[in-house]
Amino acid sequence: MSKALFLDRDGTLIVDKVYLADPAGVELIPGTIEALRRARDLGFKLFLFTNQSGIGRGYHTIEDTHRVNARMEELIGLGSPLFDAVCIAPEAPDQPAVYRKPSPRFILEMRARHALDPAQSWMVGDSAADIGAGLAAKIKVAAVRTGKKDPATLPEVAANGVPVFDTFAAFAATLS
């Protein structure tokens, strides 16, 4: 079985700019490239799992999100496709959720499709929704402080002993 990282985009890999639709606005969080390289070198499969409610709210299109993701991969420069699979959850909070985190559906589907070992798989993100998705999928969870709020203040973190790291790079440095 393979090991995997499920990674949030905004606030984890790139600076969260709220409803980012313009690829020119993509700004990598320092250390992201090295962290992704390390994870890949250690044999982790990489999955991007991003809520993009701006699509469901009509602020931008799925094509805009694909262009933002492509720009992110270009800036990372580790080859394309970088991710084994990408899940863009377009639902707004008031719409029925299929993939929108904290739904674990994407993680569970990828776990089955790619024969992933839950004991060696992580959901890494900056929000309660990210943490909830990982917990619901019964994989390991790590939170990063590079988003809008300090996840250490979230009840989901304290109640479940979720480790909190300053950055994704700090988390990746602990992988083996």
Please indicate whether residue 8 is annotated as part of the active site.
yes
Q: Which residue has the tokens 């992580």?
A: 122
In whole angstroms, what is the distance from residue 172 CA to residue 65 CA? 25
Contact call for residues 167 and 30 (beta carbons, < 8 A): yes
Q: Which pTM was predicted?
A: 0.97
In whole angstroms, what is the distance from residue 31 CA to residue 146 CA? 11
Q: Count the alpha carbons within 13 Å of 58 in the hemisphere toward its beta carbon.
A: 1
Which residue of the set 8, 64, 126, 130 is catalytic?
8
Which residue of the set 10, 16, 126, 130 is catalytic?
10
Domains along the chain? 2-172 (3.40.50.1000)
Average pLDDT for runs of 10 along the chain of length 176:
97 97 98 98 98 98 98 96 97 95 98 98 98 98 96 93 98 97
pLDDT digits (tens, 9 = 90+) for 74-102: 999 999 899 999 999 999 999 999 999 99
Please indicate whether residue 22 is annotated as part of the active site.
no
